[in-house]
Structure 1
Amino acid sequence: MKRIPMALTTGLLMGMATAALAVSPNALLVKGTITPVACTPTFSNNGLVDYGKISRQDLNVDKRTQLRDESLDLNISCNTEARFALKMRDNREGSAIVNSEIYYGLNVDRSGNRIGLYSLHFDPARTVADPLPQVYRTDSTTKGQAWSTSSFSSIPIAANSYLGFTDVAGSTAGPVKIKNLSSRVTLVAIIAPTSTLDLSEDAILDGSATLEVVYL
């Protein structure tokens, strides 16, 4: 899903409209920017990762089981060069077996037990972006107010933190403008111990998340 900042700039002020007038404590201000930028993210295979049928005998009884890693191609295409970041929203919120912004749920079994979790990992080494000769990742936990030191290390895409891209190593200046970005992301899925699940009938893995583009 594309996230386009929608906005009006409106002020409801009491009194005379003058540049020197202080904002009243009971004023309502609605601010924002309508941007012509449009970036479209797409996953290969329509974003579907299908593990097929998993036998309970292939899962651990008393500890979590990590399934095989799966990869998807991620492409982001913008109509013009733009500064943007990524985050992801869990459509199965509350069903992950670990409460963290980098883990997303696989829904629950027939008795309401949480089936597992998954994470989606971005790797700069598997990423190209024009016009950048090299891609480094940088992230922000403050909605773009401050950025981590850019690096070449892999990172999971988070629900609240922003993931941005730059061509400068060791920079805290945040993302640079990009028009097209292509990456191969890795999905890591983990199943809860079978002793915590109701397997009297099929337990359906039903993870769903929405990747969002945040314009900066």
Structure 2
Amino acid sequence: MKTYRSTLCAVLLFALPTATLAASNTDLSVKGTLTPIACTPLLSNSGLVDFGKISRHDLNADRPTRLRDQTLELTIQCIAPARFALLMHDNRDGSATVNSEIYYGLNHDQSANKIGLYALHFDPAHTVVDELSQVYRTDSTTGGKAWSASNSRSIPIGARSYLGFTDMAGSNAGPIAIQRLTSQVTLETVIAPTAGLDLSTDIQLDGSATLDMVYL
């Protein structure tokens, strides 16, 4: 569950003619920034969470069953302080039992039933950034154009919302530059009611997601 993202961005600008007569040409501009800064994200246990074998008798037939929470340690190391945000891409898109950007799927059973979902929570209280004594989280639903007021509440990482960290509570300025971040993240997993699953054979939990870094 780690990824490396290129920092080359291209913006295409098409200039349309304003004259009343049609022009025979148009302009194209390609812009971007190449940065020497690079960061490496790593998850403990190679990002693997294995629940082993779970008996159907330990699962609810008529309502979802929440499995025991699991924790992983995320480390992000940059060669120099960098402003970045995090989001997550579901490699089993469309298989979560609840349609929300914070829930990720566990794939399907052999009869194409959705097995369940999971979420990955970040808690500022369990996050260490460089030499800061306290960390706050901030998020953006506008691709980094605007940021929420930073606070210390835990939050599940989304597939479309940016998650960043700062050193000041109540700030709308967005993430600060960070060289090293470590965070204990919590995985919450829910299995669908077994009455709606095909348990004629073993069902393999098959969640897969990519934690993505976006340079700001």
- Confirm or deny a common fold (TM above 0.5): yes
Consecutive unaligned residues in structure 2, runs of 5 or more: 17-23
> Which of 5, 30, 40 pairs up with 1:3?
5
Does the residue aligned with 1:57 lie in a helix, a strand or coil?
Answer: helix
CA contact (8 A) 2:14 2:26 kept: no
Distance 1:57-1:8 versus aligned 2 partners, 3 A rule: closer
CA contact (8 A) 1:111 1:198 kept: yes
Distance 1:59-1:10 versus aligned 2 partners, 3 A rule: closer
TM-score between the two structures when normalised by the length of structure 2 = 0.91
Number of the residue aligned with 1:79: 79
Q: What are the superposed Cα offsets for residues 21-41 of structure 1, whole Å, 9 maximum, x if unpaired? A: xxx994333322111111111
Identity between Structure 1 and Structure 2 (%) = 64
Distance 1:105-1:173 versus aligned 2 partners, 3 A rule: same
Number of the residue aligned with 1:114: 114
Query: Shift in Å at residue 7 of structure 1?
Result: 3.6
Give 1:85's aligned amino acid. Answer: A
Number of the residue aligned with 2:36: 36
- 1:139 counterpart = 2:139: yes
TM-score between the two structures when normalised by the length of structure 1 = 0.91
Give 1:110's aligned amino acid. Answer: Q
Distance 1:114-1:12 versus aligned 2 partners, 3 A rule: closer
Give 2:205's aligned amino acid. Answer: L
Q: What are the superposed Cα offsets for residues 86-120 of structure 1, whole Å, 9 maximum, x if unpaired? A: 00000101110011100000000001100000000
- 1:212 counterpart = 2:212: yes
Does the residue aligned with 1:198 lie in a helix, a strand or coil?
Answer: coil
Distance 1:126-1:55 versus aligned 2 partners, 3 A rule: same
What is the root-mean-square deviation in Å for CA atoms of aligned residues? Answer: 2.0
Does the residue aligned with 1:137 lie in a helix, a strand or coil?
Answer: strand
Number of the residue aligned with 2:165: 165
In the alignment, the residues of structure 1 paired with residue 25 and residue 104 of structure 2 have an alpha-carbon distance, to the nearest angstrom, of 41
Distance 1:9-1:190 versus aligned 2 partners, 3 A rule: closer
Aligned residues: 208
Does the residue aligned with 2:49 lie in a helix, a strand or coil?
Answer: coil
| Higher mean C-alpha deviation, range 32-41 or range 55-64 | 32-41
Q: What are the superposed Cα offsets for residues 34-86 of structure 1, whole Å, 9 maximum, x if unpaired? A: 11111111000000000000000111011000000000000000010000000
Q: What are the superposed Cα offsets for residues 167-210 of structure 1, whole Å, 9 maximum, x if unpaired? A: 00010110001000001000000000001100000110000000
In the alignment, the residues of structure 1 paired with residue 139 and residue 25 of structure 2 have an alpha-carbon distance, to the nearest angstrom, of 35
- 1:61 counterpart = 2:64: no
Number of the residue aligned with 1:151: 151
Query: Shift in Å at residue 4 of structure 1?
Result: 2.4
Distance 1:194-1:50 versus aligned 2 partners, 3 A rule: same
Consecutive unaligned residues in structure 1, runs of 5 or more: 15-23
Q: Structure 1: which 4+ aligned runs deviate by more than 2 Å?
A: 7-14, 24-31
CA contact (8 A) 2:96 2:105 kept: yes
In the alignment, the residues of structure 1 paired with residue 25 and residue 162 of structure 2 have an alpha-carbon distance, to the nearest angstrom, of 33
Q: What are the superposed Cα offsets for residues 113-166 of structure 1, whole Å, 9 maximum, x if unpaired? A: 000000000000001011422110000000000000000000001101000000
CA contact (8 A) 1:4 1:38 kept: no
CA contact (8 A) 1:91 1:210 kept: yes
